[in-house]
A and B are shown apart, each in its own frame.
Chain A
Amino acid sequence: AQTVTQSQPEMSVQEAETVTLSCTYDTSENNYYLFWYKQPPSRQMILVIRQEAYKQQNATENRFSVNFQKAAKSFSLKISDSQLGDTAMYFCAFMKRSYGGSQGNLIFGKGTKLSVKP
Protein backbone atom coordinates (compact mmCIF):
# COMPACT_ATOMS: atom_id res chain seq x y z
CA ALA A 1 0.00 0.00 0.00
CA GLN A 2 1.10 3.52 -0.69
CA THR A 3 1.44 6.16 2.03
CA VAL A 4 2.10 9.89 1.92
CA THR A 5 3.59 11.76 4.86
CA GLN A 6 3.67 15.49 5.43
CA SER A 7 5.64 16.18 8.58
CA GLN A 8 4.89 19.91 8.91
CA PRO A 9 1.33 20.49 10.18
CA GLU A 10 1.71 24.27 10.02
CA MET A 11 4.13 26.76 8.51
CA SER A 12 4.26 30.49 8.11
CA VAL A 13 6.19 32.78 5.81
CA GLN A 14 6.49 36.49 5.26
CA GLU A 15 5.06 37.92 2.08
CA ALA A 16 7.61 37.89 -0.78
CA GLU A 17 9.78 35.29 0.97
CA THR A 18 10.36 31.67 -0.08
CA VAL A 19 9.01 28.63 1.73
CA THR A 20 9.48 24.90 1.22
CA LEU A 21 6.88 22.29 2.18
CA SER A 22 8.03 18.71 2.71
CA CYS A 23 6.50 15.46 1.57
CA THR A 24 7.71 11.88 1.62
CA TYR A 25 5.95 8.84 0.27
CA ASP A 26 6.28 5.11 0.28
CA THR A 27 5.50 2.87 -2.67
CA SER A 28 6.78 -0.16 -4.48
CA GLU A 29 5.40 1.15 -7.77
CA ASN A 30 7.72 2.51 -10.44
CA ASN A 31 5.16 4.37 -12.53
CA TYR A 32 3.19 7.07 -10.76
CA TYR A 33 2.31 10.72 -10.47
CA LEU A 34 2.89 13.07 -7.57
CA PHE A 35 0.84 16.19 -6.99
CA TRP A 36 0.57 19.21 -4.77
CA TYR A 37 -2.99 20.43 -4.26
CA LYS A 38 -3.99 23.69 -2.59
CA GLN A 39 -7.17 24.05 -0.52
CA PRO A 40 -7.86 27.70 0.42
CA PRO A 41 -10.13 28.33 3.41
CA SER A 42 -13.72 27.39 2.53
CA ARG A 43 -12.82 26.94 -1.12
CA GLN A 44 -12.33 23.97 -3.33
CA MET A 45 -9.13 22.08 -3.89
CA ILE A 46 -7.09 23.03 -6.93
CA LEU A 47 -4.02 21.51 -8.50
CA VAL A 48 -0.80 23.44 -7.97
CA ILE A 49 1.76 21.26 -9.68
CA ARG A 50 2.29 17.69 -10.88
CA GLN A 51 5.30 15.46 -11.44
CA GLU A 52 5.53 12.25 -13.43
CA ALA A 53 7.83 9.74 -11.78
CA TYR A 54 9.63 8.80 -14.99
CA LYS A 55 10.71 12.39 -15.59
CA GLN A 56 13.93 13.38 -13.89
CA GLN A 57 13.41 17.08 -14.49
CA ASN A 58 11.69 18.86 -11.63
CA ALA A 59 8.34 20.42 -12.51
CA THR A 60 7.86 24.18 -12.29
CA GLU A 61 4.73 26.32 -12.56
CA ASN A 62 5.48 30.02 -12.26
CA ARG A 63 6.35 30.64 -8.58
CA PHE A 64 5.92 26.98 -7.67
CA SER A 65 8.57 24.33 -8.14
CA VAL A 66 9.26 20.88 -6.78
CA ASN A 67 12.32 18.98 -5.70
CA PHE A 68 11.62 15.39 -6.71
CA GLN A 69 14.06 12.83 -5.31
CA LYS A 70 12.81 9.47 -6.55
CA ALA A 71 15.34 7.29 -4.75
CA ALA A 72 14.70 9.06 -1.47
CA LYS A 73 10.93 9.12 -2.17
CA SER A 74 10.82 12.80 -1.41
CA PHE A 75 8.71 15.45 -3.12
CA SER A 76 8.98 18.96 -1.67
CA LEU A 77 7.20 22.09 -2.87
CA LYS A 78 8.96 25.45 -3.04
CA ILE A 79 6.89 28.61 -3.21
CA SER A 80 8.87 31.67 -4.24
CA ASP A 81 7.80 35.29 -3.73
CA SER A 82 4.98 34.19 -1.41
CA GLN A 83 1.71 36.08 -1.76
CA LEU A 84 -1.18 36.52 0.67
CA GLY A 85 -3.33 34.44 -1.66
CA ASP A 86 -1.04 31.48 -1.12
CA THR A 87 -2.50 31.09 2.37
CA ALA A 88 -4.12 27.65 2.31
CA MET A 89 -3.83 23.99 3.22
CA TYR A 90 -1.40 22.22 0.92
CA PHE A 91 -1.77 18.52 0.29
CA CYS A 92 0.79 16.22 -1.25
CA ALA A 93 -0.81 13.35 -3.18
CA PHE A 94 0.24 10.14 -4.95
CA MET A 95 -1.44 8.37 -7.84
CA LYS A 96 -0.43 5.06 -9.34
CA ARG A 97 -0.26 5.25 -13.12
CA SER A 98 -1.32 2.40 -15.36
CA TYR A 99 0.54 1.78 -18.60
CA GLY A 100 -2.66 2.39 -20.52
CA GLY A 101 -2.68 5.90 -19.14
CA SER A 102 -5.75 5.30 -17.03
CA GLN A 103 -5.91 6.88 -13.64
CA GLY A 104 -6.54 5.63 -10.17
CA ASN A 105 -7.52 7.33 -6.98
CA LEU A 106 -5.37 9.88 -5.19
CA ILE A 107 -3.68 9.10 -1.88
CA PHE A 108 -3.23 12.25 0.17
CA GLY A 109 -1.03 13.31 3.05
CA LYS A 110 -2.50 15.04 6.08
CA GLY A 111 -1.66 18.46 4.77
CA THR A 112 0.38 21.51 5.76
CA LYS A 113 -1.39 24.70 6.76
CA LEU A 114 0.54 27.60 5.24
CA SER A 115 0.01 31.14 6.44
CA VAL A 116 1.52 34.02 4.50
CA LYS A 117 1.96 37.08 6.70
CA PRO A 118 2.02 40.66 5.41
Chain B
Amino acid sequence: DTGVSQNPRHKITKRGQNVTFRCDPISEHNRLYWYRQTLGQGPEFLTYFQNEAQLEKSRLLSDRFSAERPKGSFSTLEIQRTEQGDSAMYLCASSYLIDDRGEQYFGPGTRLTVT
Protein backbone atom coordinates (compact mmCIF):
# COMPACT_ATOMS: atom_id res chain seq x y z
CA ASP B 1 0.00 0.00 0.00
CA THR B 2 1.33 3.41 -0.96
CA GLY B 3 -0.48 5.37 1.73
CA VAL B 4 -2.84 8.31 1.38
CA SER B 5 -2.32 10.32 -1.79
CA GLN B 6 -3.56 13.79 -2.68
CA ASN B 7 -3.68 15.63 -5.97
CA PRO B 8 -2.68 18.17 -6.96
CA ARG B 9 0.11 18.90 -4.51
CA HIS B 10 0.02 22.60 -5.30
CA LYS B 11 -2.69 24.79 -6.77
CA ILE B 12 -2.53 28.49 -7.58
CA THR B 13 -5.80 30.11 -8.54
CA LYS B 14 -7.27 33.53 -8.91
CA ARG B 15 -9.88 34.80 -6.52
CA GLY B 16 -13.35 33.83 -7.63
CA GLN B 17 -12.32 30.65 -9.41
CA ASN B 18 -13.46 27.16 -8.42
CA VAL B 19 -10.95 24.49 -7.41
CA THR B 20 -11.25 20.77 -6.73
CA PHE B 21 -8.87 18.56 -4.80
CA ARG B 22 -8.74 14.78 -4.73
CA CYS B 23 -7.80 12.37 -1.95
CA ASP B 24 -7.19 8.65 -2.36
CA PRO B 25 -7.19 6.93 1.03
CA ILE B 26 -5.52 3.69 2.02
CA SER B 27 -7.59 1.06 0.27
CA GLU B 28 -9.16 -0.76 3.21
CA HIS B 29 -9.88 2.41 5.19
CA ASN B 30 -13.54 3.29 5.42
CA ARG B 31 -13.18 6.63 7.20
CA LEU B 32 -11.85 9.68 5.42
CA TYR B 33 -11.20 13.11 6.93
CA TRP B 34 -10.47 16.56 5.53
CA TYR B 35 -8.51 19.14 7.53
CA ARG B 36 -7.27 22.64 6.73
CA GLN B 37 -3.94 23.95 7.98
CA THR B 38 -2.98 27.61 7.75
CA LEU B 39 0.52 28.92 8.30
CA GLY B 40 1.64 28.63 11.89
CA GLN B 41 -1.44 26.71 12.98
CA GLY B 42 -2.35 23.13 13.61
CA PRO B 43 -4.76 21.37 11.27
CA GLU B 44 -8.46 22.15 11.75
CA PHE B 45 -11.17 19.62 11.07
CA LEU B 46 -13.47 20.27 8.11
CA THR B 47 -15.50 17.12 7.50
CA TYR B 48 -15.40 13.34 7.51
CA PHE B 49 -16.94 10.38 5.71
CA GLN B 50 -17.70 6.85 6.74
CA ASN B 51 -17.80 4.96 3.48
CA GLU B 52 -19.84 7.22 1.19
CA ALA B 53 -21.80 8.96 3.96
CA GLN B 54 -20.71 12.40 5.12
CA LEU B 55 -21.19 12.12 8.88
CA GLU B 56 -19.97 15.43 10.22
CA LYS B 57 -19.19 18.91 8.96
CA SER B 58 -17.37 21.64 10.85
CA ARG B 59 -18.74 25.16 11.03
CA LEU B 60 -15.55 26.06 9.13
CA LEU B 61 -17.05 24.38 6.08
CA SER B 62 -18.94 27.29 4.53
CA ASP B 63 -21.51 26.95 1.76
CA ARG B 64 -18.75 27.46 -0.78
CA PHE B 65 -17.16 24.18 0.24
CA SER B 66 -18.50 20.79 -0.77
CA ALA B 67 -17.05 17.35 -0.30
CA GLU B 68 -18.04 14.04 -1.80
CA ARG B 69 -16.94 10.46 -1.54
CA PRO B 70 -18.74 8.53 -4.27
CA LYS B 71 -18.67 4.75 -3.84
CA GLY B 72 -16.78 5.13 -0.59
CA SER B 73 -13.38 5.23 -2.24
CA PHE B 74 -11.64 8.49 -3.21
CA SER B 75 -12.96 11.85 -2.07
CA THR B 76 -13.09 15.30 -3.62
CA LEU B 77 -13.17 18.68 -1.92
CA GLU B 78 -14.44 21.56 -4.03
CA ILE B 79 -14.17 25.24 -3.16
CA GLN B 80 -16.36 27.58 -5.18
CA ARG B 81 -15.67 31.29 -5.67
CA THR B 82 -12.33 31.08 -3.89
CA GLU B 83 -11.27 33.88 -1.55
CA GLN B 84 -7.79 34.84 -0.37
CA GLY B 85 -8.67 33.50 3.06
CA ASP B 86 -8.99 30.04 1.55
CA SER B 87 -5.23 29.93 1.02
CA ALA B 88 -4.05 27.02 3.15
CA MET B 89 -2.80 23.45 3.12
CA TYR B 90 -5.69 21.00 2.74
CA LEU B 91 -4.93 17.67 4.38
CA CYS B 92 -6.70 14.39 3.91
CA ALA B 93 -6.49 11.49 6.37
CA SER B 94 -7.97 8.03 6.48
CA SER B 95 -8.55 5.40 9.11
CA TYR B 96 -10.09 1.97 9.56
CA LEU B 97 -13.33 2.08 11.50
CA ILE B 98 -12.63 -0.97 13.60
CA ASP B 99 -9.12 0.22 14.45
CA ASP B 100 -9.43 0.98 18.12
CA ARG B 101 -6.06 2.63 18.25
CA GLY B 102 -7.57 5.84 16.86
CA GLU B 103 -4.77 6.39 14.37
CA GLN B 104 -5.37 8.50 11.29
CA TYR B 105 -2.97 8.32 8.34
CA PHE B 106 -2.32 11.59 6.59
CA GLY B 107 -1.64 12.44 2.98
CA PRO B 108 0.98 15.00 1.86
CA GLY B 109 -1.62 17.73 1.45
CA THR B 110 -2.65 20.13 -1.30
CA ARG B 111 -1.32 23.65 -0.89
CA LEU B 112 -3.77 26.21 -2.23
CA THR B 113 -2.72 29.76 -3.00
CA VAL B 114 -5.45 32.23 -3.96
CA THR B 115 -4.14 35.37 -5.64
Contacts from A to B (Cβ < 8 Å): 4, 33, 35, 37, 43-47, 50, 52, 91, 93, 95, 97, 101-111
Contact = CB atoms under 8 A, between A and B. Distances in A.
Given A97-B102, A103-B95, A44 B45 contact: no
Interface of B: 3-4, 31, 33, 35, 40-45, 48, 56, 58, 91, 93, 95, 97-109
B104 A106 contact: yes
A62 to B, nearest CB: 17
A52 B101 CA distance: 8
B102 A35 contact: yes
Given A44-B109, A50-B103, A103-B31, 7 more contacts: A33-B102, A93-B42, A95-B102, A106-B45, A107-B45, A110-B40, A111-B40
Contacts, number: 61
A6 to B, nearest CB: 8
A19 B56 CA distance: 37
A93 B41 CA distance: 13
Contacts of A108: 42-44
Given A102-B97, A103-B97, A105-B33, A91 B42 contact: yes
B56 A105 contact: yes
B100 A101 contact: yes
